[in-house]
Amino acid sequence: MRIVFRWWAAIVFAAVLVQIAFAGYAAFYVVDKVDDPPKTLTSDQVEHGFNPHSAFGYLVILLGIVLVPLAFGARVDRMRKKLSVVIAVLLVIQFFLAVLGWSWAPLGFLHPLNALAIAAVTGMLARIEWRSGPTAATATATPGETVGSD
């Protein structure tokens, strides 16, 4: 189960990076469409640019939420469990920031800031997982806590 958690943490981090790339694509797509004659932008064009970001966002949230039961199932140490919970909470907050940002644009500035926090925490967890190795994972277990190895 531990190896599943390790790979899942890496996948979540990679998915977050792809999600950020989709946001960049959307921004530049919209700018490109405004530059084209007749220099007007339709809501369909905006949606087309942001559809990959929106759709993939749901997958990223799901991946992050699944990280929590995997952390407990893999019996990782307390810090990794806390990081997994923080990731899941930040991703749920990200969803609400996106919804609220579409309703009230000034609140939208929190969405990319939260994305940076998500990238930082998922990157930290993935780094910890891949630097520790299977033997170090057993050594970091608290007394009475067993770390499974697959």
Q: Quote the CA–CA distance of 19 and 2 in Å, as a whole number.
A: 26
| Core vs surface per residue 132-141: b (16+ CB within 10 A) or e | beeeebeeee
Q: Quote the CA–CA distance of 10 and 25 in Å, as a whole number.
A: 23
Relative orientation angle of helices 110-139 and 78-103, to the nearest 10 degrees = 170
| Core vs surface per residue 84-116: b (16+ CB within 10 A) or e | bebbbebbeebeebbeebeeeeeeeebbeebbe
Predicted confidence pLDDT, tens digits, the chain (150 residues):
999 999 999 999 999 999 999 999 999 999 988 887 877 888 898 898 999 999 999 999 999 999 999 999 999 999 999 999 999 999 999 999 999 998 998 888 999 999 999 999 999 999 999 998 664 444 455 555 555 444
